[in-house]
């Protein structure tokens, strides 16, 4: 039997020609027009529920529309000028958001890394403890808020009861009633709810580190801290960047937790940007609230860009 009789593919030579064209950067294979219909539903949903409202937000942000009347005036950049120069409520919400963000990013990253270091082994006890610490992440923010509202209650809250029971009455307090510290207590609830979730990311990063590196470092006389500093920390830098990025964006979205703990609307000591915009909308100041939303969107976009940049630089070892 000849070679041409053994294989139709070899006889015709068509697959070889096609392969040669693809490798040589020639004509790309044709895509059936029907395949373009598959992303269409997602594109339609994206346009209706994101692009459209975003464009409307920009449109209303330069007006004084109250959300009800059919008539409204164009105020140009007046809303943005007031937000950036003469709005103490927005400035206070931004300050609270920054405080909340710093506490959550630092404490949540440190705690989740500590838990991951302690539970990185795949033993039965470590697996069970990981599941236990991850449990709060599956709760809704409203549920977390009600749990911690009970914990912080100044009259019958668990924290004051425990402090009183062990003779530490001087440490009892109103917690959420203390305007200077209330936002930090809310941040503590946020850390409790999501530290276990981010622990999983660190565990995945730690388990990718070759054991041989630790053995080599130990042979060179490196102690526990030196092994962490020169082996563990550099190799989990990408995971750390992802955790910090996720936590930062998460800190701007603590809307449910703030309303659950601070009421609706929350008092000034617990007001953050998302709740401030919500309150402005409920006060029938749609034009001004739209301008606040645009500023909020710019802040999130800037933070997201910086975080993505940090992740990219970390992954390239910079």
pTM of the model: 0.77
The answer on pLDDT for 111 being more than 50 is yes
Sequence-distant (≥ 6) Cβ neighbours of residue 154 within 8 angstroms: 160, 172, 173, 174, 175, 177
Three-class secondary structure of residue 108 per DSSP: helix
Share of residues in the chain with pLDDT > 90 (%): 24
Q: pLDDT tens, 288-317? A: 999 999 999 898 888 778 776 765 665 555
Q: Which fold has domain 78-315?
A: MetI-like fold (1.10.3720)
pLDDT, position 246: 85
Q: pLDDT tens, 256-268? A: 899 888 888 888 8
pLDDT, position 291: 92
Quote the DSSP letter at residue 170.
G
List C-alpha distances in Å: 26 to 17, 21, 22, 23: 11, 5, 6, 7
Q: Which residues are bridge partners to 63 per DSSP?
A: 74
Spatial CA neighbour of 72 closest among 250, 302, 284, 308? 284
Peptide bond into 265 cis (omega under 30): yes
Q: How far apart are CA 240 and CA 234, in angstroms?
A: 10
């Amino acid at each position: 039997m000849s070679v041409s009789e053994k294989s139709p593919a070899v006889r015709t030579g068509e697959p070889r020609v096609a392969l040669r064209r693809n490798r040589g950067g020639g004509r790309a294979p044709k895509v059936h027009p029907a395949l373009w219909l598959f992303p269409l539903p997602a594109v339609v949903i994206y346009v209706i529920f994101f692009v459209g409202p975003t464009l409307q937000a920009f449109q209303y942000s330069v007006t004084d529309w109250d959300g009800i009347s059919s008539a409204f005036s164009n105020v140009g950049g007046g809303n943005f000028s007031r937000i950036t120069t003469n709005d103490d409520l927005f400035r206070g919400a931004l300050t609270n958001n920054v405080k909340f963000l710093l506490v959550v990013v630092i404490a949540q990253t440190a705690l989740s890394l500590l838990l991951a270091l302690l539970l990185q082994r795949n033993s039965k006890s470590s697996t069970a403890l990981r599941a236990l610490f991850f449990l709060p992440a599956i709760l809704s923010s409203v549920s977390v808020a009600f749990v911690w509202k009970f914990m912080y209650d100044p009259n019958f809250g668990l924290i004051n009861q425990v402090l009183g029971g062990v003779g530490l009455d001087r440490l009892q307090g109103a917690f959420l009633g203390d305007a200077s510290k209330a936002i930090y207590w809310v941040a503590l609830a946020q850390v409790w709810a999501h530290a276990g979730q981010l622990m999983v990311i660190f565990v995945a990063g730690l388990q990718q580190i070759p054991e041989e590196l630790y053995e080599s470092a130990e042979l060179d006389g490196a102690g526990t801290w030196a092994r962490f500093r020169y082996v563990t920390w550099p190799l989990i830098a990408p995971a750390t960047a992802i955790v910090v990025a996720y936590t930062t964006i998460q800190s701007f979205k603590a809307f449910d937790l703030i309303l659950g703990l601070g009421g609706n609307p929350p008092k000034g000591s617990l007001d953050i940007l998302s709740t401030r915009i919500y309150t402005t909308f409920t006060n029938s100041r749609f034009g001004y609230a739209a301008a606040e939303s645009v500023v909020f969107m710019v802040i999130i976009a800037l933070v997201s860009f910086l975080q993505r940049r940090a992740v990219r630089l970390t992954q390239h070892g910079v």
